Structure 1
Amino acid sequence: MIAYLPMGTDGLVDTAVLDKLSREIDVSGAQTARFVQRFISLWPTRRDAIRSTVEVRDRQRAIEAALSLKTTAEMLGAMPLYELSQSIEQSVRAGDWDGALRRLGDVEELGPRTNAVLADWAGGRL
């Protein structure tokens, strides 16, 4: 288990970031909640993109997949997922494919836990 994988739900998502995003987009939070739901629904695609591109050592696509996840995770306040994506991106850029491959299990573990916290937040706003 690595440092960016908190055991509980605390620290998986900074809901203050989501609340701020809601205030900037819409007061009710409904649009932000839909954005969160879209992130959750796209999770299998994002997870599979990172996994497949790292496994076949497709540098450009692996970087793109990691950047996509990293950027969206940051927007949603999911900093452990952001840090994990950044770590994968850095490993790929450095040619450390073994390091990137080792982190794929962390993606499998952290994604669903993060999505559960995000779903709880979004649930009360739709």
Structure 2
Amino acid sequence: MKNIIMGSVLAIAAVTSLSANAANTSICTGAGAAANGATVTASATSFVKQTFIPKCSANVFLTGDDASATLYKVGAASLKGRFTFGGSSAGGAVSSAGLACATAGACAQSDANAAAAAAPDS
């Protein structure tokens, strides 16, 4: 019984540490003109292995979530749009996240964050 409890505690600790590493990063901030986005930084423990600077289209909010060494999630919304889009490295392409923006016709960074969170994990 003691081994089962210890195993459960270790499993929970491992999952919690993976969740703690996940964080949404605002890459594109909805600027009115096309511009460079925030630098996406590489690390040995993240999915991104080569640092890069994306080019952002006008009025686009883009969020990246470097959740782990095996998963990268993205979410996007348009300042002039109504719906969000998301995707992940778990397979498939970026597609509609099925989430309407909080304010129709005026999406925000928080809407892109929600789309990234809704992207598939597996």
Instruction: Tell whether the structures are fold-level matches, with TM greater than 0.5.
Output: no
TM-score (normalizing by structure 1): 0.27
Greater per-residue strand proportion: 2
TM-score (normalizing by structure 2): 0.28
Q: Report which of the two structures shows the higher radius of gyration computed on alpha carbons.
A: 2
Greater per-residue helix proportion: 1
